[in-house]
Chain A
């Protein structure tokens, strides 16, 4: 092997080291397939590692870094769209670098990391420690230290299996996800040896406690539990990893399955006491593009030069010369920018791009040979190559792939992804978080994430036989679409082309979590409120001390001032409203709603009537929010809402006192926050009476109570006078009848 020889000669000059005599080249396995579908629909047409990240395909970042860290052999494992990847690599410079051997291992059937590592094991090319990275990793960390640490450990203990690179990254206290959009990760690490004891991804957010295994403490005295670290998906592995993967069918993925099991297993079984260690990088950069949010975050990090030397103005691949200007603006040499166009901070403009008059671009990446019309506004977007954006378009936080055409006046809301060669019609508004592709959405959608990985039948991409067929199919599809403008064209305008993928049920949550767009502030405040509510619910349950019980009035004792009472009521009302809205939206059954409401009520030590009032308020608000044009329609809204939820309401207003409280609340609403109801006050009161929600005694008591009140307070009593009179007569009649019966 020519590379090896030249390497030896290079080393000859270096210091003579006994261990270096039998020099073992450092090998790396690069997984050029993420085995996930986070980047669909784009990945249906192109492998993820070839997606441009600040105008450079992701795999080039990884390869450039591996090369600079003296890795000599890289085994690129590819599966989906392997042809595209191979042809890209063949034309790239990577095959011709000295001391850098890139070998492609191709599989057509691999669906998981397990398949991939098994295939590599059969190739029989790795017999020593190796670096395992994924092809979508951006890093500039030095590898030598971590490899040395790993080897030193292995010399002492042959059971050392892996050293995971981790990095400090505190998840947001609100969303519990890191800035890379990944979920909170819990690890327990020995502070001295850095051995990993505990590993848990995807913690459910409601979990109150974690219980790391105590047995570790008997040997080690201390361990660090943390949730402010991230794995970088760079691992130094011993060759046993390959063997273990081969033997065990349970491990589909390296993380969390494999790591979690090993960490646990190292305790239970002496024979299999493999150990995993961690290595925290202090300052250098390492991150993996896992979803659209990390795509956004990492792009920004690249533009802000955290990844130096892998930044746009350094040529580490065949990119064209780009100049770095102040404010983080990068401009390629050949740009046709109108004088009145504005390029804002932290923006990259690729070669051959035209920008029309008065267009504004900020915080964005624009690829090569794009044509941007005039009066276009682009903010926080990733625009790839050969994109045409006509006049007057507005783009915010969107990803626009190669060859997309935006006809004039179209608008992309935050979080939109337009896959390759989509055409958006004139004046079309693409709603937030939409994904538009020329390919139709695979029909079978599994919301379960585990299945999503393994599920091959539904994913056209990974279907082995169709991998090549797919390109043809998609071509056919495209041409067809172009020609006939199929029925779906209406989705993106009459002159557009593309399908809007529907968001699978239940993953709506995930959309904003993992989107390129920043999390909308109202979402944040909604979650933080929920967290607060949960805290108050949990408070009582978890804090009951070993030998004492919380006195019920201890809270009110402390917060005796009325301000906090008011705060609490407002908070409570808001919570009830949220819960109710959610129940309406998700059509929750009555018992669940009652349970949820009680969960909010109990910890705040509020009574049933408070809940009834708050709930009634929410119901009326809902009725009011439902579109209506006249009072009659409003009344109809009210009656339908009450009809639907009367059982729930009923549970909180069983006694006369509670009903009385609700009437008072209603009166207050009519005179203050919802004046619309003042006209139909009596009708609604009657409705409540009819539905048995309010008994006549409550109404009569209300009337009596109000008798002595000011004139201004009596407005509604007067309105209801006829009704009250009628009730009184009815009850007297009842009494009479009773007396008759007695006789």
Chain B
């Protein structure tokens, strides 16, 4: 695929504190002991998309992300890391790197996406319909407390949260309505004009915009230029394109000639021909029919553009690491139900214990667990459904369940950690008890203290 890829890797998101700190930007948060950004990069690599721009908010975050990428992917990917000011929003980030965009189609991916969706299908859907935007939709993640051992939690019927209200045409190929964010609290407002044109619209609340879009570059740049106030791709640009699809103000039809300005060598005409062939191959979409107007002759030629969707099948895994809850959920899933994503081979016990890890006697590591390189555990420990990072020192009689322990963590004897996230370099002294807590990097928990449902971080 000759898409140019923009990975929006974010910066130091405040809503992820204390996990994200000045040392570790969001893109480098570990999921099964490797940065979350690596999941996107490897997915792209798998589909031979090697020309990437990684956009990071803030210079210092860009430095650390750039450092990691160049060490890990130096000879595999052609990556350019661009720093943009903080709080410019996703649309602002693209505006800032406008001059880097050259290919005819741009794939914009959020750097916090953990998924195994076939990218080729998205590209195909986009090209096939000559769409201005193709959005990837996935099933809303089932959020809710991870099974924290508490018996009550399991009985609760889990309901997917409401992320988007999405209207699809009967073929499930085109996006005809989308509401997200604050709009969700208002009434649904379905445009009659679009409804009359498609005839039937399926409104769904169980789908989520996964923040992976294929854009036609010229259109994207045009919109970003015209609408200077647009902040976000998800809540401004995409809804705008969807709403205006039957009365397009965009120069869609003249695109081919303008587009290929940089490679005017005969591929121009073949491109046009190819798109015509494709257009003839599939039946007319409602856009074309509408474009012709009633009786096939409108006084104005009605301009339309197409907004396509690719709906990931239920068997695909797709989640975004955009909240603390999501961090726990994704870590749980990547070593659990969706372990093909982790890239490791699981042992017969359905867990991964690094060969250099040292376990004391009578210490058990259950299924769906991971113990990182060089970590040591004392005697009679028990680990269930948890990730333990590299070079941790864990004493004896420690119980860890449904938790994430990052690197270089020291845990004293007799500690108990449940449903918690423990960041790098944290020190837990003897008999500390954590339940549903997040502990920021470098924090020291004194011996014998008990915390429940708290967020602990070092004061700077």
Docked CA distance A203–B191 (Å): 13
Q: Which listed residue, A221, A532, A542, A547, touches B300 by the CB 8 Å rule? A: A532
Q: Check A174 for interface membership: any CB of B closer than 8 A.
A: yes
Q: Check B319 for interface membership: any CB of A closer than 8 A.
A: no
B17-25, B233-241, B342-350 - the one binding chain A: B233-241
Q: Check B409 for interface membership: any CB of A closer than 8 A.
A: no
Indicate if the CB atoms of A558 and B299 lie closer than 8 Å. Answer: no
Given that A174-B295, A532-B299, A547-B229 are contacting pairs, would A558 and B205 also be in contact in the complex, using a CB cutoff of 8 Å? Answer: no
Indicate if the CB atoms of B199 and A542 lie closer than 8 Å. Answer: no
Q: Which listed residue, B196, B204, B247, B294, touches A528 by the CB 8 Å rule? A: B294
Indicate if the CB atoms of A226 and B196 lie closer than 8 Å. Answer: no
Q: Check A554 for interface membership: any CB of B closer than 8 A.
A: yes
How far apart are A563's CB and chain B's nearest CB, in angstroms?
Answer: 11
Given that A208-B193, A221-B205, A223-B202 are contacting pairs, would A546 and B236 also be in contact in the complex, using a CB cutoff of 8 Å? Answer: yes
Given that A218-B205, A545-B239 are contacting pairs, would A173 and B197 also be in contact in the complex, using a CB cutoff of 8 Å? Answer: yes
Which of B193, B206, B230 gathers most chain A CB within 10 Å?
B193
- What residues of chain A lie closer than 8 Å to B243, measured between beta carbons? 542-543, 545
How far apart are A208's CB and chain B's nearest CB, in angstroms?
Answer: 6
How far apart are A553's CB and chain B's nearest CB, in angstroms?
Answer: 10
Q: Check A599 for interface membership: any CB of B closer than 8 A.
A: no
- What residues of chain A lie closer than 8 Å to B247, measured between beta carbons? 535, 539, 543
Q: Check B278 for interface membership: any CB of A closer than 8 A.
A: no
Q: Check B251 for interface membership: any CB of A closer than 8 A.
A: yes
Indicate if the CB atoms of B200 and A221 lie closer than 8 Å. Answer: no
Docked CA distance A208–B194 (Å): 9
Q: Which listed residue, A535, A549, A558, touches B250 by the CB 8 Å rule? A: A558
- What residues of chain B lie closer than 8 Å to A554, measured between beta carbons? 226, 249
Indicate if the CB atoms of B299 and A547 lie closer than 8 Å. Answer: no
Residue interface mask B187-199, A partner, CB < 8 A = 1:
1111111011101
Q: Check A222 for interface membership: any CB of B closer than 8 A.
A: yes
- What residues of chain B lie closer than 8 Å to A174, measured between beta carbons? 294-295
Which of B189, B199, B229 gathers most chain A CB within 10 Å?
B199
Given that A217-B203, A223-B203, A558-B249 are contacting pairs, would A209 and B239 also be in contact in the complex, using a CB cutoff of 8 Å? Answer: no
Q: Looking at chain A, what size class is its interface with the partner chain?
A: 35 or more
Docked CA distance A229–B201 (Å): 12
Q: Check B339 for interface membership: any CB of A closer than 8 A.
A: no
Q: Check A207 for interface membership: any CB of B closer than 8 A.
A: yes
- Which B210-252 residues have a C-beta within 8 angstroms of A? 226-231, 235-236, 239-240, 243-244, 247, 249-251
Residue interface mask A209-231, B partner, CB < 8 A = 1:
11110100110111111111100
Measured CB to CB, the nearest residue on chain B to A209 is B189
Q: Check A567 for interface membership: any CB of B closer than 8 A.
A: yes
Residue interface mask A537-579, B partner, CB < 8 A = 1:
0110011011111010011011000001001100100100000
Given that A209-B190, A539-B247, A547-B230 are contacting pairs, would A528 and B298 also be in contact in the complex, using a CB cutoff of 8 Å? Answer: yes
Docked CA distance A357–B344 (Å): 92
Q: Check B360 for interface membership: any CB of A closer than 8 A.
A: no
Across chains A and B, the number of contacting residue pairs, with CB separation under 8 Å, is: 139
Residue interface mask A181-224, B partner, CB < 8 A = 1:
00010101001000000000001000111111010011011111
Q: Check B448 for interface membership: any CB of A closer than 8 A.
A: no
Indicate if the CB atoms of A224 and B196 lie closer than 8 Å. Answer: no
Indicate if the CB atoms of A191 and B202 lie closer than 8 Å. Answer: yes
- What residues of chain B lie closer than 8 Å to A567, measured between beta carbons? 299-300
Docked CA distance A564–B192 (Å): 27
Measured CB to CB, the nearest residue on chain B to A546 is B236
Given that A170-B199, A221-B205 are contacting pairs, would A546 and B190 also be in contact in the complex, using a CB cutoff of 8 Å? Answer: no
Indicate if the CB atoms of B200 and A222 lie closer than 8 Å. Answer: no
How far apart are A194's CB and chain B's nearest CB, in angstroms?
Answer: 13
- What residues of chain B lie closer than 8 Å to A222, measured between beta carbons? 202-206
Q: Check A524 for interface membership: any CB of B closer than 8 A.
A: yes
Q: Check A153 for interface membership: any CB of B closer than 8 A.
A: no
Indicate if the CB atoms of A543 and B200 lie closer than 8 Å. Answer: no
Given that A173-B197, A535-B247, A545-B239 are contacting pairs, would A208 and B191 also be in contact in the complex, using a CB cutoff of 8 Å? Answer: yes
Docked CA distance A220–B206 (Å): 9
How far apart are A213's CB and chain B's nearest CB, in angstroms?
Answer: 8
Measured CB to CB, the nearest residue on chain A to B181 is A546
Indicate if the CB atoms of B299 and A555 lie closer than 8 Å. Answer: no
Docked CA distance A558–B299 (Å): 18
Given that A551-B226, A567-B299 are contacting pairs, would A211 and B188 also be in contact in the complex, using a CB cutoff of 8 Å? Answer: yes
Docked CA distance A203–B228 (Å): 37
Measured CB to CB, the nearest residue on chain A to B179 is A214
Indicate if the CB atoms of B240 and A555 lie closer than 8 Å. Answer: no
How far apart are B236's CB and chain A's nearest CB, in angstroms?
Answer: 5
Indicate if the CB atoms of B236 and A225 lie closer than 8 Å. Answer: no
Given that A208-B193, A217-B203, A558-B250 are contacting pairs, would A545 and B294 also be in contact in the complex, using a CB cutoff of 8 Å? Answer: no
Indicate if the CB atoms of A571 and B300 lie closer than 8 Å. Answer: yes
- What residues of chain A lie closer than 8 Å to B240, measured between beta carbons? 543, 545, 548
Q: Which listed residue, A212, A535, A542, A546, touches B235 by the CB 8 Å rule? A: A546
- Which B172-191 residues have a C-beta within 8 angstroms of A? 183, 187-191
Q: Check A323 for interface membership: any CB of B closer than 8 A.
A: no
Indicate if the CB atoms of B200 and A228 lie closer than 8 Å. Answer: yes
- What residues of chain A lie closer than 8 Å to B201, measured between beta carbons? 224-226
Q: Check A529 for interface membership: any CB of B closer than 8 A.
A: yes
Q: Check B457 for interface membership: any CB of A closer than 8 A.
A: no
Q: Which listed residue, A203, A214, A221, touches B192 by the CB 8 Å rule? A: A203
- What residues of chain B lie closer than 8 Å to A217, measured between beta carbons? 162, 165, 188, 203, 205
Q: Check A176 for interface membership: any CB of B closer than 8 A.
A: yes
Given that A545-B239, A558-B251 are contacting pairs, would A210 and B199 also be in contact in the complex, using a CB cutoff of 8 Å? Answer: no
How far apart are B317's CB and chain A's nearest CB, in angstroms?
Answer: 19
Q: Which listed residue, A188, A209, A524, touches B294 by the CB 8 Å rule? A: A524
Q: Check A626 for interface membership: any CB of B closer than 8 A.
A: no
Measured CB to CB, the nearest residue on chain A to B249 is A558
Given that A203-B192, A208-B191, A545-B227 are contacting pairs, would A224 and B200 also be in contact in the complex, using a CB cutoff of 8 Å? Answer: yes
Docked CA distance A210–B191 (Å): 7
Indicate if the CB atoms of A176 and B200 lie closer than 8 Å. Answer: no
- What residues of chain A lie closer than 8 Å to B153, measured between beta carbons? none
Indicate if the CB atoms of A548 and B244 lie closer than 8 Å. Answer: no
Q: Check A466 for interface membership: any CB of B closer than 8 A.
A: no
How far apart are B244's CB and chain A's nearest CB, in angstroms?
Answer: 6
Residue interface mask B87-109, A partner, CB < 8 A = 1:
00000000000000000000000
Q: Which listed residue, A224, A529, A547, touches B202 by the CB 8 Å rule? A: A224
Binding site for A on B (CB under 8 A): 160, 162, 165, 167, 183, 187-193, 195-197, 199-206, 226-231, 235-236, 239-240, 243-244, 247, 249-251, 290, 293-295, 298-300
| 8 closest A-B pairs by CB | A228-B199, A548-B229, A226-B200, A221-B206, A222-B204, A217-B205, A209-B189, A174-B294
24 A-B residue pairings within 8 Å (CB atoms)? A170-B199, A173-B196, A173-B294, A174-B295, A188-B203, A208-B192, A209-B190, A210-B192, A210-B195, A212-B190, A214-B165, A217-B203, A224-B202, A225-B203, A227-B196, A524-B295, A532-B300, A535-B193, A543-B240, A545-B239, A548-B228, A548-B229, A554-B249, A555-B249
Contacts A184-B196, A222-B205, A225-B202 aside, 19 further interface pairs with beta carbons under 8 A come to: A203-B192, A208-B192, A210-B189, A210-B190, A212-B203, A214-B165, A214-B187, A228-B200, A528-B299, A539-B247, A543-B243, A545-B230, A546-B183, A547-B229, A548-B229, A548-B236, A558-B249, A567-B299, A568-B300
